[in-house]
Structure 1
Amino acid sequence: MNVFTDDEIGEHLLNVINKEFRDADLVELLGTFVSHKQEEGFSFGRMVHLHYALFGGQDRSVALRSVAAVEAFILALDILDDLEDQDGSEKRWTKEPIALSMNGSTALIMLATSMLQRVDSSGQAVARLSQSGMRAVTGQHHDLLESIHSEETYFRMIEHKSGSLMALACMVGTLLGKGEDDELVKAYAIEFGCAAQLANDIDDALRLDPTNDILHRKRTLPTLKLMEHEGEEADWLRHYYSGVITEDAFLERKKEVFEWASRSSAITYSMVKKRVYQLRAIEKVQDVDGQEEIKGQLIKVMQSI
């Protein structure tokens, strides 16, 4: 099965935006957001389409509209997430006045709901959109409160955020293709979402650029495990997170700290945890009663992170 390309999804979203919003400034703003997201890739849309096909869905028009609806919703939450975290300085929406970007996010949420309603006669997929969004917001709330101080609270948070959003993509496709929920799909979607988040957090703990998680004092599994270590570098890291050391002072030793982090058991431990989630998800995919060809494509996606 050929999934939609990023260009196809982006073009459809832009066409819908031009049709639904009559204000030229708003259309232009949303268009720049969609184009930026297109450059990153519409990975959630791929999961919508694969699950629609997994259970026999064949209408490419329904598939494209549902894919675009979910991507519009994910984009809206990405915008809010970056504005709330004061993160993503390279993102297009962080370069606009905050009020305009927040309003653009609201517009995308409304648009996503409207688009999905048009292909969801039962209302189940729209309900899933709302439920998953509320769970993701709950996870983000705990993240913003900086209440992530243990492995347990970290995993609870990413299951709410990343797990719920991956489940949203998979379950929208499932509901439209099958006409009902599938608890096995929901279970492996949450696990795959957590694996994908762990992969991102490992990368973000090691990258030598302004978006590095350590630089922003983010509490992820890799950074939490790094602060459990003994030694000078770990002490330095704990002092930085507690505010004893300033950002300027930290930057003077940034390369040294990141080299230490890359060699540490914290990264290895995080990679093992990612692999556990990954393998659990793949095992469940194999047990799903769906088209074998599509199951193979799903497994390849899961193995690629």
Structure 2
Amino acid sequence: MNHFIDVEIPNADLNRTLHAFLDAKDQLHFSELAFYHYQSFGGTDTDAAETLGAGIELLILAFDIFDDLEDEDSPDEPWMKINRSVAMNAATALYTISIKVISSVSKEPVFFEKLMEYILQSMQGQHDDLSNRPATEDECLDMIKRKSGALTALPCVLGAMLATGKFDPAVEKYAYQLGIASQIENDYKALFYDSKSDIAKKKRTLAYLYLSRKFNQPSIDLLKTFETEDKIADKEIKCYKEKLKAAGVTQYMYVMNQLAIQKFKKGIEELELGDMEKERLMSALLNESLRGEYYAGDREFFG
């Protein structure tokens, strides 16, 4: 990834800025999604797969920076410690480099078309998120599918396409579900953040919209908390978790997460791959996208 920055950005100061941004990136989940699919579908050109993975990670980093700047999140990240206009321009440079790098691995028109389709879907989902548009749980799930599902579909579909030269709608279908499951997991964790809390932003998340139906008194109490508090004090965290369970939020988000995972698994089973290859791919994707921390300490509640 550093190589592509050096090739495309001779401006010394911008070059240093982009390297600093890249140094802060400690996870490469999306390139792994592309590689797993490339390998599973018979790809053998390691250099092409690595180039695709590098371009995808540059794209995801650009999107992460855009997201933090738009949401005013992650104050410790390097892009949040400099002039916002400079950071935005640097992120735009990263975005542009990523498109060039990803596009370089395939001359198939449909490859570029799918790349831009997923990017535009995610941007529209981000718009609805920033505008706080979802008014129902179904609308929220649709927003999640477009914002996060599309970015998960991108490496999965492009990795398979690079290997086969063809678009496989079955890959797209289950990849969306994997992205939805991962985002629901992240949204549950976000209920406990201080610096990035959705509570502080009064966002219409899946949890908030569920509570808005006011099924019981704990739901009403939590809704008031979400509307009046900016964060949950550390000393209240145990009580807060218990109230989430009493209101049904924890169970609801767990079920929605598991429904998406089951749809993902069903989609994998429909692939025209050998049973062993399907099992290997399923395991790798779940391990890469779902880090196993969702409901940590709460699993016993579900048996």
Residue 223, structure 1, aligned to residue 211, structure 2: no
Pairs within 5 Å for 1:58-207: 58-205=44-191, 207=192
1:265 corresponding residue in structure 2? 248
* Aligned-partner residue type, residue 79 of structure 1: I
User: Quick one: structure 1 residues 278 and 186, their matched pair in 2 at CA, closer, same or farther if it must change by over 3 Å?
Assistant: same
Residue 297, structure 1, aligned to residue 280, structure 2: yes
Unaligned runs of 5+ in 2: 291-303
Displacement of 1:279 = 1.1
The TM-score, its normalising length taken from structure 1, stands at 0.86
Aligned residue pair count: 287
Decide whether the 8 Å contact of 2:68 with 2:74 is kept in 1.
yes
Describe the superposition over 1:218-254 as per-residue Cα deviations: whole angstroms up to 9, x where unpaired: 2221232234345665445434555xx3648x76996
Residue 42, structure 1, aligned to residue 25, structure 2: no
Whole-angstrom distance in 1 between the partners of 2:150 and 2:234: 39
* Aligned-partner residue type, residue 158 of structure 1: I
Whole-angstrom distance in 2 between the partners of 1:212 and 1:134: 26
Pairs within 5 Å for 1:231-250: 234-239=219-224, 241-242=226-227, 245=228, 247=230
- Note the aligned Cα RMSD (angstroms): 2.3
Displacement of 1:210 = 2.2
* Aligned-partner residue type, residue 199 of structure 2: I
2:194 corresponding residue in structure 1? 209
User: Quick one: structure 1 residues 29 and 259, their matched pair in 2 at CA, closer, same or farther if it must change by over 3 Å?
Assistant: farther
1:32 corresponding residue in structure 2? 20
User: Quick one: structure 1 residues 284 and 80, their matched pair in 2 at CA, closer, same or farther if it must change by over 3 Å?
Assistant: same
Residue 15, structure 1, aligned to residue 3, structure 2: yes
Decide whether the 8 Å contact of 1:154 with 1:221 is kept in 2.
yes
* Aligned-partner residue type, residue 173 of structure 1: G
Displacement of 1:90 = 3.0
The TM-score, its normalising length taken from structure 2, stands at 0.86
Residue 275, structure 1, aligned to residue 275, structure 2: no
Tell me the percent identity: 28
